[in-house]
Amino acid sequence: MATAEAPLWRLIGGGFSLACLAGEAGLALLILKTRRGFEPAIGVGGCFIGGVGVVFQTLPLLLI
């Protein structure tokens, strides 16, 4: 039975985290291109906080 420390699961988790970060970056760029005023700052800030959360959840994969 494979465990969470198996290299394959770590690779899958890392790839999924990279896909999530790419989605966050794409959403931030979309917000910046389509909005004007103060609203983009709030949206991009939310994307940044979401990205920090993704990195925080991925750290255990890198530290094992």
What pLDDT, on the 0 to 100 scale, is given for residue 60?
86
Exposed/middle/buried for residue 40 (C-beta within 10 Å: 0-12, 13-18, 19+): middle
At position 59, the amino acid (one-letter code) is L
Output the pLDDT for position 1. Answer: 59
pLDDT in tens, 1-55: 577 678 888 889 899 999 999 999 999 999 999 988 888 999 999 999 999 999 9
Predicted structure pTM score? 0.83
Query: What pLDDT shows up at residue 16?
Result: 95
Please give the pLDDT value at position 3.
74
Contact of 54 with 19, CB cutoff 8 Å = no
